Structure 1
């Protein structure tokens, strides 16, 4: 293949890098410069990079949507629980307050231990609930 000669001026540091790479790989500097120009001018590499970025953005978008859904489920469940608890729990008489406070502290400690065990074991309640909801939706759609 016939080659054309070009003369270009590059930064001294870049020139040194080209020399070092050529020496390390034991190839002519021309080959390194040709490969760099081909890569820079290749439309495929730009399209491949763009496609990879789009795939990553799609994955991030889906992940963010799952997080938003899980957060919404968590917030709604907590709100329902608090409303139910406030509605059904009568106020404590003054003489039983300290005993109830001690019992509450004990129960809270048990809750924290259970929560830490649950989180360290595997799938969380939110993930299990999400799967159940998705399965219920699929079942409903297939019946329609």
Structure 2
């Protein structure tokens, strides 16, 4: 056991005082040793490591979410570009008297648009196939290690909330 040599005076709440008195009444415990142990725990790097683990977990979740948002943005951008291309280039111009022909042609153009979008997303650098492969086949470094999972499992929601309030 370490020798306790320095005296510290301070004030604590009534609840902490009762808990300290109760814990110190057990065999082999003293107020001094309990306070010293609490201060040692407070100043240890383990507390910082646990906080950092929680931050890394949240950053990992945010990064994965951002990756999906980035992928979806690419798909929407390609869709908008193709729609604009069809609208300004391929949409035929009809007079008001040709409403039925216009409606039938609109359905046909929509089907062409959907087919072309599928081909473009499948064949280009931002293809849907590559996007899905990245979503399903995740590189090994994006997974948690067994050690990280054990550290996360040891955390309680109370621990997470205490350091981010």
Deviation string 1:14-48 (CA, Å, 9 cap, x unpaired) is 4223125447xx42383653443122111122123
1:98–1:84: structure 2 CA closer, same or farther, 3 Å change rule?
Answer: closer
1:55–1:134: structure 2 CA closer, same or farther, 3 Å change rule?
Answer: closer
Structure 2 CA distance for aligned equivalents of residues 36 and 97 of structure 1: 82
Aligned to 1:27: 23
Superposition TM-score, scaled by structure 1 size = 0.51
Cα deviation for residue 87 of structure 1 reads 2.0
Deviation string 1:2-25 (CA, Å, 9 cap, x unpaired) is 552623223xxx4223125447xx
1:1-144 alignment runs, 5 A limit: 1=1, 4=4, 6-10=7-11, 14-22=12-20, 26-28=22-24, 30=31, 33-96=35-98, 130-132=131-133
Is the contact made by 1:18 and 1:32 (CA closer than 8 Å) also made in structure 2? no
Is the contact made by 1:22 and 1:32 (CA closer than 8 Å) also made in structure 2? yes
How many residues align? The count is 107
Q: Which runs of 5+ in 1 are unaligned?
A: 105-126, 136-144
Q: Which runs of 5+ in 2 are unaligned?
A: 25-29, 107-127, 137-165
1:8–1:16: structure 2 CA closer, same or farther, 3 Å change rule?
Answer: same
Is the contact made by 1:39 and 1:45 (CA closer than 8 Å) also made in structure 2? yes
1:133–1:76: structure 2 CA closer, same or farther, 3 Å change rule?
Answer: farther
| RMSD over equivalenced CA pairs, Å | 3.8
Ranked by relative contact order (alpha carbons within 8 Å, sequence separation 6 or more), the top structure is: 2
1:34–1:98: structure 2 CA closer, same or farther, 3 Å change rule?
Answer: farther
Instruction: Compare the two structures and name the one with the higher helix fraction.
Output: 1
